[in-house]
Amino acid sequence: MTDNSSSTSISRRALLGAFAATTVAAAPTYSKAFGLLRGSGDIRRVKMYSARTGEKIDMIYWVDGDYIKDAVREVNHFMRDWRTGDVKHIDLRTVDIMAAAHNLLDVSEPYMLLSGYRSPKTNAMLRRRSSGVAKNSLHLKGQAADLRLASRSVSQMGRAAMSCRAGGVGKYSGSNFVHMDCGPVRSWGG
């Protein structure tokens, strides 16, 4: 990936810092601390399920600085538009933000994925139903996810995602989910 802007490098640096912070913070108390602390290298893991499709995903998708191609393909398929079946490449910066926030929350529970990639057809349908759906949503680019955890509040999830300082975070308390994306650093909702 080429870096064309300083905001991208700052976001990437902040995200890597969030992974490092969760590794160090987890070390004294978390029995399954990152492999880095055990001398076996740095890993990133994503855990999600979809109530819409019944599918589950729990995998290491990044090891020692490299994304695992088969895992990335599986993430792309899992985060597809479940209404149309359309699959798009998911921006891995979004997956990294999701994984870092999950680590900060110190939970074993997988995220419930409400929305990953959205086809133009799905996004248009959702816009007709709700004024809260953006016309040019980052979901259309595979750069956003709407997530829920039963064991954590929207506020807790939002704080964890915002602490990564690597993208947008929307808190939707009324609908009980958090939007995470790899766009500009910003936050909204309550």
State pTM to two decimals: 0.78
Work out the pLDDT band at 10, boundaries 50, 70, 90: very low
Query: pLDDT digit string (tens) for 96-117?
Result: 999 999 999 999 999 999 999 9
The per-residue pLDDT for 16 is: 54
The per-residue pLDDT for 9 is: 45
Query: pLDDT digit string (tens) for 11-61?
Result: 555 555 555 554 434 333 333 333 333 334 589 999 999 989 999 999 999
**Where do we find the tokens 């910066």?**
93
> Is pLDDT of 2 > 90?
no
| 164-169-172-177 Cα dihedral, nearest 10 degrees | -60
Q: In the chain, what are the domains?
A: 6-189 (3.30.1380.10)
Averaged pLDDT of the chain: 83
- CA–CA dist 94, 100 (Å, integer): 10
* Alpha carbon separation from 6 to 16, 98, 112, 186 (Å, rounded): 15, 22, 32, 16
- CA–CA dist 168, 147 (Å, integer): 13
